Amino acid sequence: MGSSFLMHGLVDCALKEVIFFKSRGRHALKFLIDAVQHQQLIQYISFSQMAVGAFSIVEMLFSTNLLAIVGAGEQPSLSPRKLCLFNTLTGSALRELNFLTSIVAVRLNRKRLIVVLRDKTYIYDLNRLVILETIDTVPNNKGLCAFSPGSESCYLALPASTTKGSVLIYNTVALQSVCQIDAHKSPLVAMIFSSSGTYLATASQQGTIIRVHLVSQATESYSFRRGTYPSTIYSLSFGPCADVPEVLVATSSSGSLHAFLLGPAIKQRRKPYRVIGSLIPDTLSDAFDHAYHHILHNVVPACVKSHVRIYSIDNISSAPGVSGFRASIFIITHNGYFREYSLNVTKSNECSWSLEREVNVLDTISNDPN
């Protein structure tokens, strides 16, 4: 079983992005990246009360000490049907939850814990760890889901079909369905909420179009063309702004990093794509927003899986009358690299990319004396 990586963005943490390395050993490698001082700190967390073996899922509650861990099944105590809530400060398990089938995804915010199985999704009150709702779902072997990080909206998105790109939006506070969005013609492979839960970005198996949906108006969306040829979208990330996110980024099997400028596109108030799409083929209607698409090629080797997060967005003014913003973007890849890029965009839509730092995680681990 090869090494793999999981990166979880911290939407409400101003200083740190946390990345977890998943290995066969008894340690999970934890990177704390200080974005202010640009210092890299490496800390090993020893799961002393857990048997040696691999983890299939590691999720962190923002920048707290709480981890949700699911084993890969190499040991009985690390069953893929068992969820362990772990305190990294005390090094002890807080609670274990057992299920009849394998856990394929876990999401959490300060109010809710979401546990996704292949055909069911459980909603827990995080503080009391009691089941609030059980949702029967279509087969979801890859654990595709999206969960808004904010405590007010608490929206959960789940696939609503295995044959087309339909999304069920569920309010985990009110415990009721909000809407169903027919986002794509082919099945979904990626989706993510903006930090406020206002917008949902989706991508399908085709991978040529990424759509951004206004959750409160399920029929409205903004479409961005990633490329002409099919490609698998590995990861999506919104900028941290709670109102209108300025940027949406994506990585795919093509190895490129894509940035879509949402601010100008949303301000144009395009007509709902469902109305346009019924009259104009996708190849035409979805090409409207190409001016807001910036690409950095060869960021990752083709077909190497990657996870991307926008860490921060800052307004900049390089000269009198010249303004724009700078986005700091983190990427972790399955071949062992962490990279930070800066995307600078002027008000006139001129764009420049720069690589700020690069770390070979595997070399770091192999050189560690522990």
| CA angle in degrees (0–180, nearest 5) for 117-122-152 | 130
Q: What are the domain boundaries of the chain?
A: 1-140, 144-308
DSSP of 280-305, one letter per residue? S-HHHHTTTTGGGEEEE-SSS-TT--
Measured CA distances, 204 to 186, 189, 339 (Å): 6, 5, 26
What is the per-residue pLDDT for 73? 84
What is the per-residue pLDDT for 153? 82
**Are 144 and 159 in contact, with CB atoms under 8 Å apart?**
yes
What is the per-residue pLDDT for 221? 76
pTM: 0.82
Cβ-based neighbour number of residue 98 at 10 Å? 9
| Highest CATH level, class, for 144-308 | mainly beta
CA distance 262 to 113: 30
Strands ordered across the beta sheet of 199-204? 188-193, 199-204, 209-214, 221-225
Kindly state the tokens that stand for 339: 């990279």
Measured CA distances, 171 to 47, 153, 188, 215, 242 (Å): 34, 7, 20, 11, 18
| Burial bucket for residue 161 (CB in 10 Å: 0-12, 13-18, 19+) | middle
Tell me if domain 1-140 and domain 144-308 are identical in fold. Answer: yes
Q: Which residues contact 314 (CB under 8 A, 6 or more apart)?
A: 325, 326, 328
Here the contacts of 63-66 (C-beta below 8 Å, separation 24 or greater) are 63/10, 63/12, 63/13, 63/16, 63/18, 65/89, 65/90, 66/94, 66/108
Give the per-residue SS3 of 141-207. Answer: CCCCCEECCCCCCCEEEEECCCCCEEEEEEECCCCEEEEEEEEECCCEEEEEECCCCCEEEEEECCC
**Are 16 and 8 in contact, with CB atoms under 8 Å apart?**
no
Residues of the chain predicted below pLDDT 70: 1-53, 242-245, 264-291, 318-322, 364-370
Closest CA to 104 of 151, 139, 141: 141
Measured CA distances, 261 to 119, 129, 235, 247, 293 (Å): 36, 39, 17, 5, 7
Fold of 1-140: Methylamine Dehydrogenase; Chain H (2.130.10)
* DSSP H or E segment with residue 265: helix 262-267
Kindly state the tokens that stand for 77: 């105590």
CA distance 222 to 194: 14
What is the per-residue pLDDT for 75? 79
Q: Which residues pair with 201 in a beta bridge?
A: 192, 212
Instruction: Quote the DSSP letter at residue 77.
Output: G
Closest CA to 141 of 170, 171, 157, 162: 162
Q: Which residues pair with 30 in a beta bridge?
A: 20, 43
